[in-house]
Chain A
């Protein structure tokens, strides 16, 4: 058996097997796991529907927002920015990662809190909106935290782009917007697909940002899991929720890959024509 196989078995398969086995068990009297074979945990999944609903709405919304903001940024970095500044600008994108997301989220608590942005807005007579502990705050935190993960794959795919293709497109009479739509955008799609996948998968398991910027009122599946394992110590039900989350992820990611592959296939046919 190759070392890689052994590693995969020990680090991926074994823990998953434990989770699946636990999901059919019962909560011990003082919490924890006691062996049993019951489907009750799965039957109770409905009680966490709100958490799944929040996650399945805010994770894709966060991914799309990240994409909309990251694409122009990556485009600027890869194509428009002066080569002399490019490295520096790229480092600036990574710099936030040098500090823990926990500390940066705390900073957002103050920025979005009553003494932060709302106060600034009210001095300009723009009202005093409640921002902190809302889905808006959670989305802001998500976009802020995950943006670099979206920028880099897109940047890489744009940077590799053969500039001669754009010249050829211009020579053949395409205005810049058409060159962008027919050359740049399709060729950067692998980066977009990777970035979206990366951000989406991580967001589905997110719990820190909703806990901190949602004030415990915007509840993700990740938060439900933390509560089940650390607060109510209902490990079997927690395991069932985890299994359900893995299944939801498998389904959405498979669908997503099918779609992107079909899309890529269609494009290849066009390219062959």
Chain B
């Protein structure tokens, strides 16, 4: 025991601190030589979600790059992750799955973890842009506790490429105080009809072909995923007819809805929840004809520079306690029964987050071909430039 170096003198500590501050030594050296690294990992092991995990003791590097969607994480969770592992979370925010796909196709994204939506995963697999997951490195993922409807798309041909993050729906939000004597719309047919009459100049649609074309198809009762040329032609006719009546074509609809410039918009669960929380007159509606149901995943792209950190981050975020905090922060439900058990009852009974079963049954998952179909992309372009 005599040769054990289990302490560091004050003078030596200050000297090392200055070396670190001046940049002559790395943080890793500093943490190692001062014993702070060990102290951090001991403290880290006291944080739920980090206990038991083998990687907490091993070095995962000093950063992990995450490509995700806006307002989709609780920053406090990232801070806890960094405090426990020493890896800073570098967040890149995206506006659409197409954009993510384009970035990965172009190569050199530098991402370690990304958040693809269900319908993109087979495309990523087909293009060899995604790593199969080693589930042994994600002990917090317990497949049995997940609703298979939402977890299923992460598995392609028996291989797990992605583990579920959150799920949600695509409906519309309507400012009921502007309805006057009109009954509250409950269908996509009414959504478009009101847009072209009483709400002229007040409706927004996503700048996203999947949802905008999908919900125009719903006007006629066609599938949200249709790539049938005749059905798409009908949808195009409706879109072109409605365009002069639209307030905007934009996926950034919260500011305009909140300011009262726009009265109705195609809307995702979390946005609907956030607006409704602050302005109860803005209600979230799922069209009776159906529409989109989606599930987002965590996945690791091919060539991720910090694979260990990627697994560590995914595992950390899937810890039920951490995941519950995420969900309470952004307002999107998870498919994990262990997380539901931690959620307050008013959340579980919230019709925006957990819609009635008959409304959910009418919804469809977006299909891979819906995203990649060149005709839908061109239709959207014609609609926008019309």
Contact = CB atoms under 8 A, between A and B. Distances in A.
A91 to B, nearest CB: 31
B259 A50 contact: no
Nearest to A233: B102
Given A30-B126, A50-B385, A231 B209 contact: yes
Contacts, number: 90
B255 A109 contact: yes
A227 B381 contact: yes
B98 interface: yes
A228 B381 contact: yes
Contact of A115 (B260, B374, B382, B385): B260
Contacts of B260: 114-115
A242 to B, nearest CB: 15
A85 B378 CA distance: 55
Contacts of A27: 374
A223 B101 CA distance: 19
A267 to B, nearest CB: 42
A233 B381 contact: no
B123 interface: yes
A136 to B, nearest CB: 15
B384 A227 contact: yes
Given A29-B372, A216-B207, A216-B250, A47 B98 contact: no
Nearest to B205: A216
A114 B101 CA distance: 36
B56 interface: no
A5 B312 CA distance: 47
A32 interface: yes
Contacts of A30: 101, 105, 123, 126-127, 372
B350 interface: no
B386 interface: yes
Given A27-B374, A113-B261, A230 B248 contact: no
A31 B255 contact: no
A231 B385 contact: no
Contacts of B246: 215, 217
Interface string A98-117: 00000000000110011100
B96 A232 contact: no
A114 B261 contact: yes
Nearest to B251: A216
Given A50-B385, A50-B386, A229 B102 contact: yes
A71 to B, nearest CB: 34
A233 B208 CA distance: 13
A188 B99 CA distance: 46
Classify chain B's interface size: 35 or more
Contacts of B135: none
B193 to A, nearest CB: 20
Interface-central residue, A30, A48, A109, A115, by most chain B CB under 10 Å? A30
A230 B384 CA distance: 15
Contacts of B386: 50
A173 B194 CA distance: 69
B248 A216 contact: yes
A109 B257 CA distance: 13
Contacts of B372: 29-31
Nearest to A132: B261
Interface in B240-290: 243, 246-250, 255-256, 259-261
Contacts of B208: 231
A234 B380 CA distance: 13
Given A30-B372, A31-B101, A216-B207, A230 B385 contact: no
Interface in A131-162: 132-133
B303 interface: no
B80 interface: no
A217 B363 CA distance: 29
A262 interface: no
A250 B4 CA distance: 74
Given A30-B372, A233-B377, 4 more contacts: A30-B123, A113-B259, A216-B207, A223-B384
Interface of B: 96, 98-99, 101-102, 105, 123, 126-127, 201, 204, 207-209, 243, 246-250, 255-256, 259-261, 372, 374, 377-378, 380-382, 384-386
20 contacts: A29-B372, A30-B123, A30-B127, A31-B98, A32-B105, A47-B382, A48-B385, A50-B386, A115-B261, A132-B261, A215-B250, A216-B207, A217-B246, A227-B380, A227-B384, A229-B102, A230-B98, A232-B98, A232-B209, A232-B378
Report, nearest first, the 6 A-B pairs whose CB atoms are least far apart.
Answer: A215-B248, A232-B377, A216-B249, A50-B385, A114-B261, A219-B385
